[in-house]
């Protein structure tokens, strides 16, 4: 991406406004909106943005962090013309942050992911990623009761939510975002959209855009919440990340000869991710509500383990149908929710995986049962430790990770820690109900 580029691709005909978005370290998507005639100037010269965005919390408070919590200074937010998606007359463009001298801002999450993709390319590795987004469709006219009451995955639920889902699909049709699946999920009012796999930057861009497109249908009949847990007793909303890895067009997650069909390189990649799983939780679970979602027997993964087609493993290997192997094989990180910054999650997964490859890390034996069904002694014997259960524990795990600290860089790492600990301190005495009420409509 070049902030000085002169050849600015035009916007599609019919664009009414341009939404330039970026995601902060609390996982909140922030934006600036411009008229279409301002597009060339925005691409060439950027839009003003304060460095304090680096330490905004999910509740809009500013975390204390020397050098970032000051009103002094400015940045330039450059929209990436290659990221433009048009839906309902709005052009959505992912922005990247630079300083006023045109240098990448080290606290920019999209810039971090770009760097990690570049590091993978140095090893001749191409990553493909996709996000699954779950949300709670509430009915404002009925006190935010679920817009459908099930049954889970049911045709009856689809009948009640179908017109809403078809409108969303129609709004995305014809653009670069490939809607793979769109259906009712397990919980009452819970819906899911799965996006087709693409390169990591585009996958993160599209995850942000899809959420916003869904929200454009909010009205008196329905309102969308991507909060990790919208209501007490409700099903949690995940934002699962799927990842595969190729070299010379061969999917390394499905080209091996063993029972998992993973190559040695992809196995080491996952071993690196598994080793950093507690720190990844500290990064990917960006809201106090995140830790109300994660738990045993919730299909979120709550124990440091991996498994093949095991939905209780936070790191799940998916073999795919025998008719689509090896191209369909991938791994899924299940602890991710929509409070996370998708650029940070994708970049951190790549960083951890590349470290695993460089060090020749080996995976332990896969877990082929529900970890909660094992006795504490059996879990200890297999090294199955609980994942962080609150924001402070997640921040501590992130702070201890030399791998992620090195990849993120000192400025981004300390900004993340400040945001996590600031948000945790603000909710030290909050009840679960108070947390859910505060964050229900922030994501």
Annotate 38-104 with DSSP letters as a single string: GHHHHHHH-EEE-GGGGGB-TTS-B---TTTSSS---EEEEE-GGG-EEETTEEEEEEEEE-TTSPB
Report the chain's terminal Cα–Cα distance, integer Å: 28
Q: What is the pLDDT of residues 203-239, one digit of tens each?
A: 999 999 999 999 999 999 999 999 999 999 889 999 9
194: Cβ–Cβ under 8 A, 6 or more apart, which residues?
130, 132, 133, 179, 180, 181, 182
pLDDT at 384: 94
Domains of the chain and CATH, by start: 17-108 (3.10.20.70), 116-439 (3.30.590.10)
Alpha-carbon gap, residue 416 to 396, rounded angstroms: 11
- 256 falls in which pLDDT band (50, 70, 90)? confident
Given a cut of 60, whether residue 2 has pLDDT beyond it is no
Least confidently predicted of 24-28, 122-126, 161-165, 317-321: 317-321
* Residue 315 CB-half CA count within 13 A: 28
Q: Which two tokens stand for residue 210?
A: 């899809």
Provide the b/e sequence for 31-54 (b: ≥16 CB within 10 Å).
Answer: bbebebeebbebbeebbebebbbb
Omega of the bond leading into 276 within 30 degrees of 0 (cis):
no
* Full-model pTM: 0.96
Question: Rounded distance, CA 231 to CA 306, Å?
Answer: 29
Lowest mean pLDDT among 278-287, 298-307, 400-409: 298-307
What pLDDT, on a 0 to 100 scale, did the predictor assign at position 6?
63
What is the mean predicted confidence (pLDDT) over 6-17? 89
- The CA distance from 246 to 254, in Å, is 10
At residue 1 the predicted structure's pLDDT band, cuts being 50, 70 and 90, is low
Residue with token string 């992620």: 404
């Amino acid at each position: 991406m070049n902030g000085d580029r002169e050849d600015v691709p035009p916007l599609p005909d019919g664009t009414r406004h341009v939404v330039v978005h970026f995601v902060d370290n609390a996982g909140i998507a922030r934006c600036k909106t411009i008229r279409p005639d301002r597009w060339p100037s925005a691409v060439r010269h950027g839009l003003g943005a304060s460095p304090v965005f680096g330490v905004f919390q999910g509740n809009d408070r500013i975390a204390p962090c020397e050098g970032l919590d000051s009103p002094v200074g400015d940045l330039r937010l450059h929209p990436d013309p290659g990221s433009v998606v048009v839906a309902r007359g709005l052009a959505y463009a992912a922005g990247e942050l630079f300083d006023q001298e045109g240098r990448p801002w080290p606290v920019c999450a999209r810039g971090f992911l770009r760097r990690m993709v570049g590091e993978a390319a140095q090893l001749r590795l191409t990553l493909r990623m996709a996000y699954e987004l779950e949300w709670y469709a509430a009915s404002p006219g009925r006190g935010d009761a679920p817009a459908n009451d099930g049954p889970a995955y049911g045709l009856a639920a689809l009948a009640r939510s179908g017109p809403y889902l078809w409108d969303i699909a129609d709004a995305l049709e014809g653009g670069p975002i490939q809607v793979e699946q769109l259906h009712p999920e397990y919980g009452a009012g819970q819906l899911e959209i799965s996006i087709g796999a693409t390169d990591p930057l585009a996958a993160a861009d599209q995850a942000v855009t899809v959420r916003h497109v869904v929200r454009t249908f909010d009205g008196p009949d329905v309102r969308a919440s991507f909060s990790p847990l919208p209501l007490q007793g409700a099903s949690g909303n995940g934002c699962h990340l799927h990842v595969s890895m190729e070299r010379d067009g061969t999917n390394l997650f499905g080209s091996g000869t063993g029972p998992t069909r993973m190559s040695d390189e992809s196995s080491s990649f996952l071993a690196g991710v598994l080793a950093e799983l507690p720190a990844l939780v500290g990064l990917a679970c960006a809201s106090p509500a995140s830790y109300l979602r994660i738990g045993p027997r919730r299909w979120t993964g709550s124990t440091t383990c991996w498994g093949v087609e095991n939905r209780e493993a936070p790191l799940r290997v998916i073999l795919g149908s025998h008719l689509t192997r090896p191209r369909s094989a991938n791994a899924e990180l299940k602890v991710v929710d929509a409070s996370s910054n998708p650029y940070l999650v994708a970049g951190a997964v790549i960083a951890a995986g590349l470290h695993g490859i460089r060090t020749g890390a080996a995976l332990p034996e896969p877990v082929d049962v529900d970890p909660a069904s094992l006795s504490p002694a059996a879990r200890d014997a297999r090294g199955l430790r609980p994942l962080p259960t609150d924001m402070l524990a997640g921040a501590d795990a992130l702070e201890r990770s030399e791998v992620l600290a090195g990849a993120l860089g000192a400025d981004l790492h300390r900004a993340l820690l400040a945001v996590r600990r600031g948000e945790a301190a603000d909710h030290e005495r909050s009840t679960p109900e108070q947390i859910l009420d505060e964050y229900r409509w922030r994501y």
